[in-house]
Every structure is written in structure tokens, then in C-alpha cells.
Amino acid sequence: MQHYTSLNDIQDLSAIIEKAIQLKKNPFQYNDIGKNKTLIMLFFNASLRTRLSTERAAKNLGMEVSVLNISNAWNMEFEDGTVMNLNTSEHIKEAAEVVSQYGDIIAVRAFPTLTDKAKDTSELIINSFKKYATVPIVNMESATDHPLQALADGITLEEQKSEKKPKVVLSWAPHPKALPHSVANGFVHLMNKMDVNFVITHPSGYELDPNITKNAQVVYNQEEAFKDADFVYTKNWSSFSDYGKVLQSDADWMITQKKLGKAKFMHCLPIRRNVVAEDAVLDGNNSLVIEQANNRTYAAQVVLKELLTQLK
């Protein structure tokens, strides 16, 4: 593994999930592998889980960690050939190579604009880091993907499933703000690689990028989609076709305990209570949200360990 910017960077997903489960049993078994190595985490956007779990993962491997909120650095330019006489002060060409002098792995969080579809779809920021940095890049959520979250969700599903081939439903839910597609896309990538019966449900107009969903089954009736579900993974996302727009905020799509039935509930967090899912769901025994957050550490740890092994 040279970089970790998508689940496709993992050759054998089942093997990586198994390695993560083993790391979880003994998180300090490789606490020397990152000695004298530094992880630099660059945040263009806010984070609670990604920041703390990735730092913890790196420290479990013996790494040093430096964290920079990009709002505290120079405004960065990503376009090639720009005359930089406006408000950007530093080009990614220098910035990525400079940061590579200070760290052995660079992790980046950069959300989409949700206004410039072409720019977001091209993954300009994460791909620019890949292009100009001289060390491995880890995606801590980019314009279109969240592969650390997806891997943590894969670990959680593997740990929690009681059927060999469970039915997993990805359900859109309401939210007052326009949110990225990254988590939903990452989960679809995961489902394409796991042995599951996968169904997506959302109101009309919220179809995800067809290049990502490909042949996934979409059921527009949420109740029908939830029938016999073992897991319901819930997430809001804005429209992809009417890019970045909130088309409706239909409270009928909120996840309730009645709709959920016996299915286990998953969400990446943070979650708006009684908007996305009611209290009874989040406080109930079938909620896996804390375990998903816990598994973020072992997802990051197994990825960092693979990258460190390549550095040696």
C-alpha cells in the first residue's frame, strides 16, 4: 500500500479487517514500528473522531504526531498556472513537498465545496497532495470519500453480523444542512467489496453518483427497503444531480425504533438527535454508533501499520 486514499488501495479487504480485529485485541503489539516516524495530520475542516482516533492509532504504533488546522496556515492555492495576486499565499507544489520534509506520512481532511461539482469530483485537494508530496498520503475524508470510516464500518459489520450474508440497507435521512456524499460513497464502496445483500433507499432526487453506485439496488420506499434488514446504515447527503442542494427535509425519513425493528443501527457520527434518528434508536441496544467510533482507531492503525511497513 503506497497511499490510503480509497478502499481500492487495500488489496485484500477481508485480510485487513481481520488484522484490525487482531490489533484491537492487543493495540500495543507493534508499538515500535513507528519509532522515529511522524504522522502529520492536516485539517481543512473540523473533526472529533477522525482527529482523535487517528492520533491514538499512530501513538499505539509508537509514532510522533503533528496536527495542523489549515485555517491557521497560509491560504493554499491548488490550481496550476494561477497568478496568485488574490488571497492565496502558498501553492500546493511547495506546501506538499515542504510538509513531506517534516513527516513520514501525511493525513489530509478536505471536504467538498458542494458548489463546484467538477472540482469536487476530481478530488483536487487529495490528488494534489498525492502528486506533490514525497511521502504516503492518508485520506481522512475528502470531497467524495471517507475510506477510514468505511474501513471502520467494515470491521464493525464483520464483528456484529450473525448471518453469513446479511441484508444491509443504506438509508438517507433528513438534515437541515447540505452535507457531502463522502460517507455514503465510502459505504457503497465497502458494500461492493463485502458479501452482503445491499439496498440503498432515499427520496427521489437524492441518487448518489451513478459511477459509484453502479448496479446497486435502489428502493425508493423506505419501509419496503427495511424489510428483513440486519443492518440499517443511516446518513444524510445533499443532491448529487442538483449538486449540493437540499431538495426537501422530509421528517418522514427520520429513523425510528418502530421502522428499525430488530435491525442494528449504524451511523458515522456526529448525528442530530430527533432529526436523523430518534433518541430511542440512539439510546437503544441495537445502536452500533459507539462501536463504529471505537473501530476508527483500529481502522487507522491497520492502515498506518501497512504504510509504515512499506517505508521500512
Side-chain-facing half-sphere of 306: CA atoms under 13 Å = 22
Q: Which residues, 137 to 166, sit near ligand CP by CB under 6 A?
A: 141, 149
**Would you state the cell numbers that stand for residue 146, as one nine-digit string?**
471517507
Smallest gap from Cβ 290 to ligand CP, in A, equals: 12
Give the span between the Cα atoms of 38 and 133, in whole angstroms.
Answer: 15
Smallest gap from Cβ 133 to ligand CP, in A, equals: 21
Q: Give the residue with the Cβ less far from ligand CP, 147 or 174.
A: 147
Give the span between the Cα atoms of 140 and 106, in whole angstroms.
Answer: 10
Q: Which of 50, 156, 185, 213 binds ligand CP (CB under 6 A)?
A: 50
Q: With both helix axes pointing from N to C terminus, report the angle between 147-160 and 13-25 in degrees, rounded to the nearest 10.
A: 80
Q: Which residues, 13 to 42, sit near ligand CP by CB under 6 A?
A: none
Percent of the chain that is helix, strand, coil (3-state, to 5): 40, 15, 45
CA angle 191, 265, 110 (to 5 degrees): 60
Smallest gap from Cβ 70 to ligand CP, in A, equals: 15
Smallest gap from Cβ 183 to ligand CP, in A, equals: 7
Give the x-and-dash track for 257-276 against ligand CP (CB under 6 A): -----------xxx------
Q: Give the residue with the Cβ less far from ligand CP, 138 or 225.
A: 138
Smallest gap from Cβ 225 to ligand CP, in A, equals: 23
Q: Give the residue with the Cβ less far from ligand CP, 183 or 225.
A: 183
Number of residues forming the site for ligand CP (CB under 6 A):
9
**Would you state the cell numbers that stand for residue 33, as one nine-digit string?**
514500528
Name the 3-class secondary structure at 228.
coil
Q: Which residues bind ligand CP (CB under 6 A)?
A: 47-50, 141, 149, 268-270
